[in-house]
Amino acid sequence: MRVLQSFPEGRVTTNPYLLQLSRSLGPHVEVLGFTWRRALTARYDVFHVHWPEILLQGRTPVRARARRMLFRLFLARLRLRRTAVVRTVHNVRSHESAPRRDQRLLRRFDQRTTLWIRLNPFTPVPAGALERTIPHGDYRDWYSAQTPGAPVPGRLLYFGLIRPYKGVDVLIDTFRQLGAGAPGDSTSAVTPTLRIVGSPQSSELAQRLQLAAAGDPRIEFVLRHASDAELADAIGAAELVVLPYADMHNSGAALLALSLDRPVLVPRNAVTNALAEEVGAEWVLTYSVPLSARVLADAIAGARRPRSTRAPALSQRRWTVGAADHVEAYGRAVQALRSR
């Protein structure tokens, strides 16, 4: 079976989740990286897409128009060749705003989708659709060559892409209140520090965050794409990873922190409650929004308490299991399309 993935090969900025998926599938199916030439001319049995809206994005209006033309041709080819389309749903909805014409094309693509993969059982899919739930894999093998150091007392860390919905501005404002001596502050013996590592969506957002932190020397920024080694060092130095997303559904960052044996603080909802139950509530600390200085102080205290397990329980996230589940899903999609 030949599977065309929706991401290109060989980019250092490619999400490690995608690269691990591709590598784990290698022994079972032939995996092709995405190019438009390959999408329109190569032979493959399954097209596996993750964020279809990315296929329509262009850096300039001319490139965007060219992408739309290619996307229309691609839709036609998928229909004429009766190619199975498998889509992994990473979010409840796209975090990217799209023009109406792009939205229409994406709706047509949804209609061509044969099988939907959910990363957790709470993700909605179209009524009556063929679907499969395959949990997001861990990062232990990916970072096995990295050796995180000991945590720095009081160090909080946010890492990952920085976008408005991820609440980094709220984290900065709340952290500054913690420094002002919030009620119940349990960090008084150690000066808390906050490190923010990741590439902002825009220079305007970067400037806004730096302005919000101005005058507080305890807040440090690394506003760029970080290498695997840099991320491992940053996570290893953290007592607690804080991910204050306004709308958290699936989080590769949370799983990366847990894979390196660091506790995380995340908003409380059905998905994060299930994650805490799976890997251990001592490792996944949750809070009811909004984030407050008291929440941060209590979470730091919670992260310092002795834990009953040496590491989070991530056995359900092994890539060997996930790869087999993906291969089974591809087979189901091909068979379903042939039987129609």
Q: What is the pLDDT of residues 4-62, one digit of tens each?
A: 999 998 777 788 999 999 999 989 999 999 999 999 999 999 999 999 999 999 889 99
Residue bearing tokens 């060997």: 320
pLDDT at 246 over 90: no
SS3 285: strand
The beta strand positions in the chain, using DSSP E, are: 2-5, 30-32, 46-49, 84-89, 115-118, 130-133, 155-159, 193-197, 219-222, 240-242, 264-267, 284-287
Query: What pLDDT is attached to residue 181?
Result: 45
Query: What is the pLDDT averaged over residues 93-104?
Result: 79
Residue bearing tokens 């600390």: 285
Q: What is the pLDDT of residues 59-98, one digit of tens each?
A: 899 999 999 999 999 999 999 999 999 999 998 876 666 7
Query: What pLDDT is attached to residue 149?
Result: 81
Distance in angstroms (rounded) separating the CA atoms of residues 235 and 256: 9
First CA to last CA distance, the chain = 20
Of 338, 317, 315, 340, give the one whose Cα is nearest residue 119: 317
Judge contact between 303 and 285, C-beta under 8 A.
yes
Query: What is the pLDDT averaged over residues 198-208?
Result: 95
SS3 85: strand
Query: What pLDDT is attached to residue 187?
Result: 47
All structural domains of the chain with their residue ranges: 2-137+318-339, 155-315
Distance in angstroms (rounded) separating the CA atoms of residues 145 and 284: 25
Distance in angstroms (rounded) separating the CA atoms of residues 249 and 123: 8
Q: What is the pLDDT of residues 247-285, one digit of tens each?
A: 899 999 999 999 999 999 999 999 999 999 999 999 999
pLDDT at 138 over 60: yes
pLDDT at 180 over 70: no
Helices 252-259, 16-25: axis angle to 10 degrees equals 80
Distance in angstroms (rounded) separating the CA atoms of residues 275 and 279: 6
Question: Of residues 141 and 98, which shows the higher confidence score?
Answer: 141
Mean pLDDT lowest for which of 4-8, 177-181, 296-300? 177-181
Query: What is the pLDDT averaged over residues 116-138?
Result: 96
Of 105, 35, 38, give the one whose Cα is nearest residue 75: 105
Question: Does 155-315 match 2-137+318-339 at the fold level?
Answer: yes
pLDDT at 189 over 80: no
**What is the dotted CATH code of the domain comprising 2-137+318-339?**
3.40.50.2000
Q: What's the mean per-residue pLDDT of the chain?
A: 93
Query: What is the pLDDT averaged over residues 216-236?
Result: 95
155-315: CATH topology is Rossmann fold (3.40.50)
Query: What pLDDT is attached to residue 188?
Result: 56
Question: Of residues 313 and 183, which shows the higher confidence score?
Answer: 313
Q: What is the pLDDT of residues 311-335, one digit of tens each?
A: 999 999 999 999 999 999 999 999 9
Query: What pLDDT is attached to residue 59?
Result: 85
Query: What is the pLDDT averaged over residues 197-217?
Result: 95
SS3 209: helix
Q: How confident is the model at residue 339 (pLDDT cuts 50, 70, 90)?
A: confident
Q: How confident is the model at residue 216 (pLDDT cuts 50, 70, 90)?
A: very high
Percent of the chain residues topping a pLDDT of 70? 96
In sequence order, the 6+-apart residues with CB closer than 8 A to the CB of 76 are: none
Return the structure tokens found at 313.
């329980």
